[in-house]
Structure 1
Amino acid sequence: MDITAQRRYLLINPNTNALTTQRLQDVLLPLLPQGVQLDVRTARFGAKYIACEASHAVAAHACLDAWVSQQSAVSGSLNGVLIGCFGDPGLFALREVSGCPVTGLAEASFIQAASYGPFAIVTGGERWKPMLHRLAGSLGYGAQLRHIETVAPNGAALQADPDMAIRCLTQACQQAAQSGVAAIILGGAGLAGYARLLQPHVPLPLIDSALAGLEIMLKQASPPAPHTQDGFFAQWQGMPEAFKAIPTRDTG
């Protein structure tokens, strides 16, 4: 990736687990092209691990809060935002209010996986299955997503026990490979870097959701256009002062 001008991006971990943030940093920061700066923020409230509809909904608010906090702390425009969760909480809201491209680990993975053909997902936590089906449909990838294989341990448990994670995920990927798909997404911020460890044991291309997120964010991003700006379409009450510092766009 040949990027010569200094560019700044924002990576948001929408759960409160600092270990997940560290995992993303350990995997992604060494891959940054020259001239690229990646600001990283962890949600200041919400769940330690997003595992259900309620925690996903709160995480969307936490993503907005992290974006607002970054905007108030750092001057200048962003070139792109990446939501560091395989579920993309707050994706549509951040895309609406931000003057730069926004993507998430799931959407980025869908983009890459669909280039092979129909795809499957392997991830941790059984409650994610209907949530991911809904997200894929809303992003236009419902037809390509043919199978979701969830493992019993959630992302936090997998992250805490790497040996168990490799055994468990290898078996799940091998199962998913029998579903007639062309590629498999290994989804989860805490699983960043695992795909390369599992790939020798899986007969189909494995997509690391964190690497996909970085690649798609850099590919989609561009210098902010003169006519675009950050801004909300609503007046706030009872929110942190930083929300009020973001301009409200004139809706006419």
Structure 2
Amino acid sequence: MRILLINPNTSAEITALIAGHVGTMVGSRAELKPVTARFGARYIASRAALAIAGHAALDCLSEHVAGCDVAFLGCFGDPGLLALQEVSPVPVVGMVEASCRAARRIGRYGIVTGGVLWEPILNEVVAGLGLAEGFTGVRTLALTGGDIARDPGAAIPLLAEACRACAAQDGAEAVILGGAALAGLAPLVQPSVPVPVICSVEAGAAATLAAGAVNARRAPVTVESVGLSVPLHALLARDPGA
């Protein structure tokens, strides 16, 4: 199985972080093809950055999906996920979608992430994916994902405190630690939290393996376009020779 790992942030460091974590999870079961967005925000933390990232993710898919069996959108915000699923010839898995589905299997669930602007955005993303039932809400840190990636040790007590508040005050029976930059931190937070803490990257990787194993190719929709990159225009036009 070959997994296209799309980082819609423009930070190669984040790509390496996700790829390292996902690679450890999948082991010999799959080959990773990590790609980094060629335009957009260094680390997505606003609506504008998220909107641009959706275009960047489509651009990555169009350039690199050939030869892959499944794509994993490595950003907790799932920028452009529904559009990617609409036009992709292979299954596309989103980090929010996968981790929310995993948490719902446990019970009521909340999300903890970095960056205060993410609270309303993630509320909308969860609702838009039809996963609002049992969702207790989002708690954010003042630190952005980029801040956490630079000094994860300093963020662990703050993340644990927010996770405990999700359980004690919001009634969450599971908490998602959301964000590419938070990959690998769930085991460090878990000892201080009375309910399961789910790593969004690990949940996404598990769902990606499952989707890739099905090997479900599909016929994407056709879209007329102007002014896009040649590979993206070809993907939308369903013209592999363009």
The normalised TM-score by structure 1 is: 0.89
One-letter amino acid of the structure 2 residue matched with residue 243 of structure 1: L
SS at match of 1:61: helix
Return the offset for 1:33: 4.1
| Distance in 2, Cα, partners of 1:148 & 1:66 | 29
Residue 163 (structure 1) aligns with: 153
SS at match of 2:237: coil
Aligned to 1:118, which of 100, 108, 112? 108
| Distance in 1, Cα, partners of 2:56 & 2:203 | 22
Residue 186 (structure 1) aligns with: 177
2:87–2:235: 8 Å Cα contact kept in structure 1? no
Residue 131 (structure 1) aligns with: 121
SS at match of 1:176: helix
| Distance in 2, Cα, partners of 1:39 & 1:218 | 14
SS at match of 1:32: helix
Residue 231 (structure 2) aligns with: 242
SS at match of 1:40: strand
Residue 3 (structure 1) aligns with: none
Residue 68 (structure 1) aligns with: 62
Percent identity between the aligned chains?
A: 41
Residue 215 (structure 2) aligns with: 223
One-letter amino acid of the structure 2 residue matched with residue 237 of structure 1: V
One-letter amino acid of the structure 2 residue matched with residue 26 of structure 1: G
Residue 4 (structure 1) aligns with: none
SS at match of 1:10: strand
- Report whether the alignment pairs 1:153 with 2:143: yes
One-letter amino acid of the structure 1 residue matched with residue 156 of structure 2: I
Residue 204 (structure 1) aligns with: 195
One-letter amino acid of the structure 1 residue matched with residue 7 of structure 2: N
Return the offset for 1:165: 1.1
Aligned length: 237
2:177–2:198: 8 Å Cα contact kept in structure 1? yes
| Distance in 1, Cα, partners of 2:79 & 2:161 | 28
Residue 106 (structure 1) aligns with: 96
Unaligned runs of 5+ in 1: 1-6
Unaligned runs of 5+ in 2: none
Q: What is the root-mean-square deviation in Å for CA atoms of aligned residues?
A: 1.6
1:232–1:246: 8 Å Cα contact kept in structure 2? no
One-letter amino acid of the structure 2 residue matched with residue 198 of structure 1: V
Relative distance call for 1:247 and 1:59 in structure 2 (3 A) is closer
| Distance in 2, Cα, partners of 1:244 & 1:116 | 42
SS at match of 2:77: coil
1:236–1:243: 8 Å Cα contact kept in structure 2? no
1:159–1:165: 8 Å Cα contact kept in structure 2? no
| Distance in 2, Cα, partners of 1:174 & 1:202 | 5
| Deviations, residues 55-105 of structure 1 (Å, cap 9, x unaligned) | 00000000001111114xxx43x3211110110001001100112211111
Return the offset for 1:188: 0.4
| Distance in 1, Cα, partners of 2:56 & 2:236 | 19
- Report whether the alignment pairs 1:52 with 2:46: yes
Return the offset for 1:163: 1.9
| Deviations, residues 143-192 of structure 1 (Å, cap 9, x unaligned) | 22112111101100111112211121111112112121110000000000
SS at match of 2:146: helix
The normalised TM-score by structure 2 is: 0.93
2:116–2:140: 8 Å Cα contact kept in structure 1? yes
